Structures are given as structure tokens and as C-alpha cells.
Amino acid sequence: MLGPVLLAAARSDSIRRLVSAAPITRPVVDRYIAGESLDQCLESVRTLADRGIEVTIDFLGEDITQRSEALRNRDAYLALTEALAAEGLGERAEMSVKLSAFGQALPGGHELALANVVPVVEAAAEAGTTVTLDMEDHTTVDSTLAILSELRRSHPETGAVVQSYLFRTEDDCYALAGEGSRVRLVKGAYNEPVEVAHQDKREVDLAFVRCLKILMAGKGYPMIGSHDPRMVAITEELARRHGRKPGEYEFQMLYGIREAEQDRLVAEGHRMRAYIPYGTDWYGYFMRRLAERPANLAFFLRSLVSR
Ligand code: FAD
């Protein structure tokens, strides 16, 4: 019940101002965000590397309203790429990009987002790393997949994300399961209407398994973005069935969530990647994390009243 309310709040400017300004929010935010600066982010990358965990880094800046912000976000990713190259982290760290941060929702947004992401994908390739395009709400999926196929012409290693809650996603999985295709499968984190998406958690989970089967049977590189122990176990079983060794698929989890499970998978020889968000514009990301788990909201509210 609370999930949709929190997801609606994630897109409200007035609630954004209220929550972002409250200093008491900070300790809870810190659980999910690897700091506001590039230096803090790199520190987290090194700490995770010591635990055998690779990363995909997200510079927070979604839902912008100005073209200047799109350029600022592009430049932040170029600076991040330079830093990864300078630190020799290109092999351990890839980058996750939300095209809304590159102007996708502005007038002429498809072309604008493409123009802004191309230099980042090129710089990433030079630095020995890659980019994965995050998936946002359903209205953006066609544009994001079209930009993906444009980018893959010159940089086939560019990754995509598919969300099992969308009815269309099994078809997208078939289309994306080919040789060299890097695809992250997730359940989906936005507030979607009944016309396009499963609303029932059980249906979303069943669809996740169907998509997982398509990707694991395919020729691409599946990236399993889930903290759900059942999805992890089913992935392991499918890997055995299809003769996929660790490194021919990988697990991905969000920074700060189920860390013991992340360590366990590494200890068992799996390839594990953490999604690390950093930057000052953490509000939308933070609200989606609260919406995913009522206990997070309770933790957040307790921290407000205990001060
Ligand atoms: P759930 O059934 O939601 O959770 C399973 C268990 O995981 C829970 O019982 C709990 O123990 C733990 N858990 C899950 N969420 C939380 C949380 N917030 N805090 C604490 N514990 C939690 N979504 C998109 O729409 N687009 C994207 O591009 C995208 N990229 C992602 C990248 C990665 C690497 C990951 C892991 C997720 C991404 N997501 C994205 C979010 C995803 O869609 C889900 O909302 C999120 O992963 C929760 O689903 P779950 O599979 O973990 O399963």
C-alpha cells in the first residue's frame, strides 16, 4: 500500500525539498548512497574491491528540467571516467547511466540524450570500461532501447536493463539475448499503470523467472540485479543447466543492501557487482529504496523520532 505513495512522492518537488533539507534524513540516506563527492565514491569502490566486489557507478541526477543540467551530468560522467582510468579501476568499475539525467525527458530529448551519452560511451571504451543504460519508467523504454541499439553499433559492449514487471519484457529479453549482449534483469522500481505492468508481486516474480530463463539460455551476458534469495538460487540452478560458469553471468545488488549475501556469493566464486550511487541529487533514488521495503520506511521514521 505504501509503495505507490512513496513512488509518487519520489516525483514530487515539494516533498523533495522537505525531505532533502531535513538534516536528520542524512544518516538513513548514507546507508544507500556512497557519498556526495567523486572522492567518496572512489573510496567505496576501493573498499568493495578489497571484498572482491566489482561495481557499477551511478552519478545521481535524474529527472532534470534544463539542458544545462544534462551537460553537467555528462561532464560528471566524463570526469568519473577519467578518474577510473587514472586509478586503474576500469576493469573493476563500469558506469550506470539514467538517460533522463542526459535530457531524455526534455523537448527533443531522444536526440539530446543520445548526443550526450555518445561521448561518455566513447570515453568509457578508451578507459577500458563500459556503460549500462538504466531503465526508467515505461514511457522511456522504446527511446532507451533505440539509443542502446544505436550505441551498440560502435560499442557492442554497452549494457541494457529490462524490468520483469512490464508485460513487454519477455519479448525484449528474446530480442536482447544474442551474442555479446549485456543485459541486467531487474523486477522494476517505478509506479507503473495496470495497462503495462504486473501489479501483483507474485506475478512480477514469476515474470522475472521467465525472463531469467530466456537470458540464461541465450548467448548474451546476463546480469542478475536482485536481492531476492529465490532469484539467486534459481540463477545458480539455470547456470548449472546451461553450463554457464561464474564469469559467464554475474550477480548485481545495490550498495548497502544484503551485504552479507554479496560477500557469500563472492566467497562461493561468483562474480558480484554492487551498484554504487553518488552525488547530491539522491532524493528520487532514496525514495525508491524506501518504497521497496516497508521496514526501510519504519527505520527512517524511527530515526526521525529518536532525535
Ligand atoms: P524484492 O522482492 O523487492 O526483495 C527481495 C529481498 O531483498 C527483500 O525481502 C529484502 O530482504 C531485500 N531488499 C530488496 N530491496 C531492498 C531495499 N530497498 N532495502 C533493503 N532490503 C531490500 N530498477 C529499475 O526500474 N531500473 C533499473 O535500471 C534498476 N537497476 C538496478 C540495478 C541493480 C544492480 C539492482 C539490484 C536493482 C536495480 N533496480 C532497478 C531495482 C529493482 O527493480 C528492484 O526494485 C529492487 O532490486 C528490489 O527488487 P528485488 O529483486 O531485490 O526483490
Q: What is the pTM of this model?
A: 0.94
Instruction: Show me where the domains of the chain are located.
Output: 1-33+282-307, 56-279
Cell numbers linked to 200 = 501483483
Specify the range with the lowest mean pLDDT, choosing from 5-9, 14-18, 129-133, 220-224: 14-18
Grid cell, residue 21, equals: 533539507
Report which protein residue has its CA nearest ligand 1's atom 33: 225
Q: Quick one: which H or E segment has residue 132? A: strand 131-133
Q: Which of 186, 264, 282 to mutate to test the pocket of ligand 1 (most atoms within 8 A of CB)?
A: 186
Asked whether the beta carbons of 225 and 184 are under 8 A apart, the reply is: yes
- Residue ranges lining ligand 1, Cβ < 6 Å: 134-135, 161, 163, 184, 186-190, 225-228, 252-254, 257-258, 275, 289, 292-293, 296
- Residue type at 261 in one-letter notation: E
- CATH number of the 56-279 domain: 3.20.20.220
Annotated ligand binding at 245? The verdict is no
Closest by CA position to 221, among listed 243, 252, 247: 247
Residue 13 has pLDDT above 90, yes or no: no
Distance CA 74, CA 70 (A): 6
- Quote the pLDDT of residue 307: 46
Residue 236 has pLDDT above 60, yes or no: yes
Is residue 131 within 8 Å of residue 157, measured between CB atoms?
Answer: no
DSSP 254-279: ETTSSHHHHHHHHHTT--EEEEEEES
CA pair distance 185, 212, nearest whole angstrom: 7
Segment 43-57, tens digit of pLDDT: 999 999 999 999 999
pLDDT tens for 281-297 read: 888 898 888 888 767 77
Q: Is 34 helix (H, G, I), strand (E, B) or coil?
A: coil
Q: What are phi and psi of 274, to 5 degrees?
A: -100, 140
Tell whether ipTM is more than 0.90.
yes
